[in-house]
Chain A
Amino acid sequence: MVSKINSCALTGIDGCIVEVETDISNGIPSFDIVGLGDTAVRESRERVRAAVKNSGIDFPVRRITINLAPANLRKEGSFYDVAVAVGILAASEIIPSTELGSYMFLGELSLDGRIKAVQGILSMACCARSNGIKNVFVPDANADEAAVLKDINIIPVKSLLEIVRHLNGQEVIPAYTVDINSIFSQSISDSMDFSDVKGQASVKRAMEIAACGAHNLLMAGTPGSGKTMLAKRLPTILPRMTFDEALELTKIYSVSGLLPHKSSLISARPFRNPHHTISDISLVGGGKPIKPGEISLAHYGVLFLDEFPEFGPEAAEVLRQPLEDGEICISRANNSITYPARTMLVCAANPCKCGFYLDPSRKCSCTPKMLQRYLGRFSRPIMDRIDIHTEVRPVRYDDLEKAGEEEPSAVIRERVNKARNVQLERYRGLGIFSNSELSPALIRKYCELDRVTSKLLRRAFEKLGLSARAHDRILKVARTIADMEGADAIKSWHVAEAIQYRSFDRLVSKY
């Protein structure tokens, strides 16, 4: 007797249907699993045998062969346990096999028959949905995560026995649902707000522009000037995530096993703050099995690199391509996986080695050589992808004492939404969403300057010693500033302000 059970394999953050075929025939009793499984899959034989037995069901003492089809796809992980067990029960006619085609089974078995949580449930449930499978059995602990999908039935189960009783019609488990609106409204009560930051008007303005155009940002400032505090609040002024964005992001967290217990959808934009000792692989993703890196975990959010020059030159090199493409393709000998990585990069750095170069009240003890060497550590390729430079100075005591006149995040976010909508409208059908993604050809099309303005820009270049690479960046930022005003054409004052955000270029041209 042969049975076919649906399960799922993961490639990147996407699932792929795997059919678990079970054949039980006469012969010398044995239990084999074929179909390119890794050690975890092969070991599932022992878990399944014990779980079935401890659920009070006789394990068939016959020749059992399991095939995971397609047999040429490598399968990793322990979540085939439940499908294998159900396959054996169906093949030995303990449960009816007639309707099994509309079910998918996911989960890891414990020896006593209980079902444990696994990683990547959301991706696999999405895969079931897109393949027309109506019902998905998921471990009870993963129910919240899978239940964000509305048009399929998510059946949470705690043990193998519950599945048997459900399929036999003895005790039907109702489909599990969650209220998505409540999840989204929960994140409104963010614990952080822009109004926490006192003073710093010029930096806040720079951050608002960066948020409006999704521009990458560099903050230079003395130690303790509040760079990290400001960066952490950047997600609170970015537009709220849409359901599809949240779904994609949650998938990434789900396959990395980073989804907090009992949580369903990640509805707040992520803020990732890796330490500078991080390896290249954990920054962009990789390893065995392949996992998403920090840049993917910051998808639709903010990747914050504090002490940016301390990140090695390799770290900067590997970030280059994903920053450009919005995704990262990890190619290894046996397969290649693409993770999304559409993130806003925010770098923070001391302006010099001792950190006091920009401090008006303290003296910088760096020699020109030291300064030169320090500036040399800013990776050129990454600096080329940063549109806005801003300088943060230490908070003054006067600013701390001032109370209650700072703008809250919600007000700023309102303006950001408006500017983003202008961009979405303009770039409809072009495959880009914000000014930061404009290619040189599109810059020429959308960032045209009138004669007065282009003359001003030319003069500024000559006078301030800006490099050619600054040119396109200035135009992009000027476009964003114009969009914030709702202006169609870029005017001289938009360009003038954009030039103010190239301070790092000026510093470098000085040394």
Chain B
Amino acid sequence: MRDIDYWIWFSSLSGLGPVKARQLLEAYREPKIIFYLTVQELRAYKQLSPKNIEEILNKEKRERVNSVNDLMLKNDIKMATIFDSNYPEKLKHIYDPPVALYYRGKLRLSEFSIAVVGSRRTTNYGASAAKKLSYELAMRGVQIVSGLARGIDSIAHEGCLDAGGRTAAVLGCGLDYIYPPENFRLYENILNSGGLILSEYPPGTPPLQHNFPARNRIISGISSGVLIVEAAGRSGSLITAGYALEQGREVFAVPGNIDCSYSKGTNRLIRDGAKMVLGVEDILEEFDYREDVKINEPSGQTSGTGINTGLKTYMGLSTEEIHVVKIIQKGIRHIDEIIERSNISVKEINNILFMLEMKGVITQQPGKIFEMYL
């Protein structure tokens, strides 16, 4: 077995819990050594319960390493142990960090990241607030962290992607599962845009109910602050807020109507001392974050036959093409609306949009929707 195989085995000991696992690691330095400990040696280690010992010696768990290895290869999943240099620095300092992280994409978290979380069922208000705030944060170069769940989580990721940011998603299952399944497009978009998807669970772990509260500690753990957009009286996002407080992270909440059940949780957080967020400035000022770090705002400046979309500069475009690009940058995306706004006839617009797509400036989404290529 290779070193990484011992790590895979060690990380799959879910019954042990992250705290005991870390203590074991500190005592023995390497999973390899723990792997070959005898029953007597394990019994001598007082913190371990008989159940823990049984799990460590469990044959099935040891044999499963191979199948996990296959899944990692197949799904392009990589692993970072707590001793690795790319293991998120912030996460190391929480009470119960996972001993290893599985990830897809680039394990590169920016200095300043905000977790945007909320309930799975949302109101229009919550959805638009989540989108707006995560979009604006990402525009200022802030990384958005969330849990890829339905509702606010997905919207937060989308908002970050729309702004051209790199978002990070923390899952409560193995990375070979896409849960919830309808988010597979989002899943791909996150990876394609250079984002990160990570989990403490080895591939092959199904989305079990009790995994999700535990995953919330990672969401807050890798973030500088946690923004709760919408949460009912009892909501998983409140668990995240609890972890955030424990870990010494800032907690932000978006206020709502006092008679709206979807805002009960967030309003209560504000009453209990969370910072009320009316705009991104409320978050940024807490970190002394200057906007000059990075501004992604599309400038739309034209120079000769080219256009600067904020991220890239395209050259060799015709005047009409630039005209159309500017319209799409304003968020007018459907072909009929583009026609209306640009005063260009249908037959010409089809041609222009096609040429822009071929030049890699825009992409076409199903439904004759056009978006800037990021």
Interface residues of A (CB under 8 A from B): 199-202, 204-205, 351, 357-360, 364-369, 391, 393, 456, 459-460, 463-464, 481, 493, 496-497, 499-500, 503, 506-507, 510
Q: Is the CB of B366 within 8 A of A366?
A: no
Q: Is the CB of B367 within 8 A of A393?
A: yes
Q: From residue B120, how far is it (CB to closest CB) to chain A in Å?
A: 13
User: Interface SS of chain B: helix, strand, loop or mixed?
Assistant: helix
Select B367's contact among A201, A358, A460, A510, beta carbons within 8 Å: A358
- Report the bound CA distance from A386 to B336 in whole Å: 23
| For the complex of A and B, 8 pairs with smallest distance between CB atoms | A358-B367, A205-B346, A496-B354, A497-B350, A367-B181, A493-B351, A496-B351, A500-B350
- Report the bound CA distance from A499 to B352 in whole Å: 12
- Report the bound CA distance from A59 to B182 in whole Å: 81
Q: Can you pick out 5 interface pairs between chain A and chain B where the beta carbons lie within 8 Å of each other?
A: A367-B182, A391-B366, A463-B357, A497-B347, A507-B366
- Report the bound CA distance from A493 to B351 in whole Å: 6
Bitwise, B313-336 to A at CB < 8 A (1) or not (0) is 000000000000000000001111
A contact residues around B336 at 8 Å (CB)? 199-202, 393
- Report the bound CA distance from A391 to B365 in whole Å: 11
- Report the bound CA distance from A500 to B366 in whole Å: 11
- Of the four ranges (under 10, 10 to 19, 20 to 34, 35 or more), the interface on chain B belongs to 20 to 34
- Report the bound CA distance from A440 to B260 in whole Å: 64
B4 at the interface (CB under 8 A from A): no
B353 at the interface (CB under 8 A from A): yes
A contact residues around B364 at 8 Å (CB)? 503, 506
B184 at the interface (CB under 8 A from A): yes
Q: Is the CB of A365 within 8 A of B366?
A: no
B355 at the interface (CB under 8 A from A): yes
Interface centre among B184, B353, B366 (most CB of A within 10 A): B366
A contact residues around B74 at 8 Å (CB)? none
Q: Is the CB of A351 within 8 A of B366?
A: yes
Select A359's contact among B335, B350, B367, beta carbons within 8 Å: B367
A contact residues around B353 at 8 Å (CB)? 500
Name which residue of chain B comes closest to A209, CB basis: B347
B contact residues around A205 at 8 Å (CB)? 346-347, 350
A contact residues around B350 at 8 Å (CB)? 202, 205, 496-497, 500
Q: From residue A68, how far is it (CB to closest CB) to chain B in Å?
A: 60
- Report the bound CA distance from A159 to B340 in whole Å: 65
- Report the bound CA distance from A278 to B367 in whole Å: 29
Name which residue of chain B comes closest to A359, CB basis: B367
Q: Is the CB of A506 within 8 A of B334?
A: no
Name which residue of chain A comes closest to B155, CB basis: A363
A368 and B182 in contact, given A201-B346, A497-B347 (Cβ under 8 angstroms): yes
Q: Is the CB of A202 within 8 A of B355?
A: no
B contact residues around A500 at 8 Å (CB)? 350, 353-354
A365 and B355 in contact, given A202-B335, A393-B368, A500-B350 (Cβ under 8 angstroms): no
- Report the bound CA distance from A366 to B336 in whole Å: 26
Q: From residue A357, how far is it (CB to closest CB) to chain B in Å?
A: 7
| Extra 13 A-B pairs, beta carbons < 8 Å, given A201-B340, A493-B351, A497-B347 | A200-B336, A204-B346, A351-B366, A359-B367, A360-B369, A364-B182, A365-B182, A393-B367, A393-B368, A464-B357, A496-B351, A497-B354, A500-B354
